[in-house]
Amino acid sequence: MKESKPTRQAPPKARQPSRLGWLVSSVAAVLLLSRFFLNTREEYTLCSRNNSIYTVNETYPRAQCISICGGRITAVGNEADIRRSWIERFLYSAGTTVQYIEPEQIIVPGLADAHAHLLQQGYKMQLQLDGATSVQVVVERIKSYIMAHPDVHADTSRWIEGMGWDQTKWPGAKFPTAADLSSDPLLRGRPILLFRVDVHAAWVSERVLELMAPLPPDLDVEGGTIIRDASGEPTGILVDNAMSLIPQPPWAPEQYVDFFNTAVAEALKFGLTSVHDASTNPDAVTFFKGVAEAGKLPIRLYLMAVPFSENFTDWQPSQIERLTNYGAHGRLNLRSVKLFTDGALGSWGAALIQPYTDKPDTHGIMRSSPETMDQLIRSAWKANMQVNVHCIGDRANEIVLDVFEDILAEEARNGNADVAAFRPRIEHAQILQASDLDRIGRLGVLASVQPTHGTSDMWYAETRLGPDRIKGAYAYRTLLEASPNKVLPLGSDFPVEGVNPLLGFYAAVSRLGVDGRSPHGGGGWFPAERLTRAQALKGMTLDAAYASFAETELGSLAVGKRADFVILDRNIMEVDPSEILRTRVTATVIDGKAAYGTLGSRKTWQW
């Protein structure tokens, strides 16, 4: 039988993908690539089983979980919602890390100090005089310092420097003298410089007075005072601008490093992720830039540049280098200046309209004249720098508000009516007339305040000011309610006060000292000026971020923002006020990474 030849068949046509199939394939490829890309960055979800993540976000004030990827927050919500989200299903179907905090712990946004002095904190810690109850206690601490430092003991020409004394806590509440520092043979003949707790007065030894000779013959220097005895001789106390006469040695490079490392370690230990450095001179700016460039800035810094000299002759704000998210990690910013109007209440340097009640021969000290303040503020404003002005007394606040009011009126006439574009700040805003408490809010000027100043000063403030003037002092609730946007940035002014921001939180919500006392009893000093806990937390997070033009990046736990947050070992929003000061930081997290402590226990979600 004849075999038939097989017929040749045409090859099948290649199947053309449908439009839907092509779309699915493309999305899958993108998702696969996205998963690979995202997995190259640290990612995790942090949860609280009892909804104890306080976001400082009005639309979602408390949450169970936050997700972090690449140093930013990618999700905030309930655990179930995050589990069900489509992006979790596609990208993390193999499982993703979830960490749970302990039941008693809470998470809050990274804490900020809206007014502090970072390097000066490290400087202070070399010889701390806080809590000294008499001149003799100070002398004993200096002796202990000398004995603990053989190089200082062997060289009597080495300067000994410290900070923190407060004569209001001593018997008689009188200023000390240079002779007091010669009362012990170990101290005699040494150059000793000790700054008062508010850093508005300095106490120097007889050797330093010799190095300063000849001193100006007049009782005062412009913007400062040389305290003299009955015979006209200097006692060893110099107030405000008179401190510039002290030939203090400049810091060596290694001191900058030591002071910085010491202060940053303290800040991170207490949950600070951002610090507004409220008096940064050019040398310090250069130092911070170098640290940031080297990728060794573990904390966010917002710098306030200060004039180059006391007489302002070489100060040109237009030549200040602006820094925006500068450095390897983008944590350094400089877009503001800091000016000083008056001194401090504790050294009778706050500029008052009426004389001091307990010292009627003085109205305090204007470190800069009204005319100079007008000139300085306008020159900085013209250079498009945020202007932040130190004002303690009611006269100082009145003068600066006058300048701000005039400038803002001019801006409005030029079509620039939005004060939020400028955000001028008054640092301290400590003693104001009732009319100025209203005006600061009406103008939209930010009051940057320090709650621990109120509780530190409350034992002598009314003696200084009298029963009427005190009503406009440390009026934090009034200032907040007057603010059109309800913004009240909170700080500490460390090293004047302690670094721990919970000291300020406690002072703000209780108006009590750390011992639970106040001149008005256990209910707090002028308790109507207490802040709520939510207001206080916002003041040291979102309000501080707003005061540094960073509210879109920092200050609350919201999707897209930087993953800066703090884990606390107890719920400061609910515990008894006395428990607040026992709170410890479990972890301080910046850009999603623990800069201090550790995160919670880990497990993996499986879908």
* pLDDT, tens digit, 9 for 90 and up, residues 504-535: 999 999 999 999 999 999 999 999 999 999 99
Better-predicted residue by pLDDT, 421 or 7 = 421
Q: Tens of pLDDT along 250-309?
A: 999 999 999 999 999 999 999 999 999 999 999 999 999 999 999 999 999 999 999 765
pLDDT for the residue 217: 77
User: Looking at residues 397-414, what average pLDDT do you find?
Assistant: 97
- 166 within a domain of the structure (yes/no): yes
Domain end call among 245, 261, 279: 245
pLDDT for the residue 83: 76
- Same domain for 93 and 130? no
Q: Are 461 and 473 in contact (CB under 8 A)?
A: yes
Instruction: Enter the tokens of residue 513.
Output: 């000292």
Q: Are 276 and 112 in contact (CB under 8 A)?
A: yes
Better-predicted residue by pLDDT, 573 or 80 = 573
- Same domain for 72 and 135? no
User: Looking at residues 557-574, what average pLDDT do you find?
Assistant: 98
The overall pTM is greater than 0.75: yes
Q: Rounded to an integer, what distance in angstroms lies between the CA atom of residue 49 and that of residue 27?
A: 34
Domain end call among 196, 220, 245: 245
Q: Is residue 10 predicted with pLDDT exceeding 50? A: no
Q: Is residue 602 predicted with pLDDT exceeding 60? A: no
Number of domains the chain is built from = 2
Q: Give the bridge partners for 596, in sequence order.
A: 588
Cis check for the bond before 519: say yes or no (omega within 30 of 0): no
Cis check for the bond before 214: say yes or no (omega within 30 of 0): yes
- 264 within a domain of the structure (yes/no): no
pLDDT for the residue 601: 57
Q: Find the domain containing 90 and state its range.
A: 41-110+556-607
Instruction: Enter the tokens of residue 343.
Output: 């001194």
Cis check for the bond before 495: say yes or no (omega within 30 of 0): yes
Q: Is residue 26 predicted with pLDDT exceeding 80? A: no
Q: Rounded to an integer, what distance in angstroms lies between the CA atom of residue 73 and that of residue 591?
A: 9
Domain end call among 193, 217, 245: 245
Q: What is the CATH number of the domain that holds 132?
A: 3.10.310.70
Q: Rounded to an integer, what distance in angstroms lies between the CA atom of residue 175 and that of residue 267?
A: 31
CA distances from 516 to 45, 168, 201 (A): 39, 20, 29
Assign 315 a pLDDT band (cuts: 50, 70, 90).
confident
pLDDT for the residue 58: 93
Q: Give the bridge partners for 426, in sequence order.
A: 389, 447
- Same domain for 154 and 91? no
Write down how long the chain is. 607
Q: Rounded to an integer, what distance in angstroms lies between the CA atom of residue 219 and that of residue 97?
A: 68
- Same domain for 102 and 145? no
Q: Is residue 20 predicted with pLDDT exceeding 60? A: no
Above pLDDT 70, what percent of the chain?
88
> E-assigned strands of 455-533?
none
Q: Is residue 48 predicted with pLDDT exceeding 70? A: yes
Above pLDDT 90, what percent of the chain?
83
Q: Is residue 152 predicted with pLDDT exceeding 50? A: yes
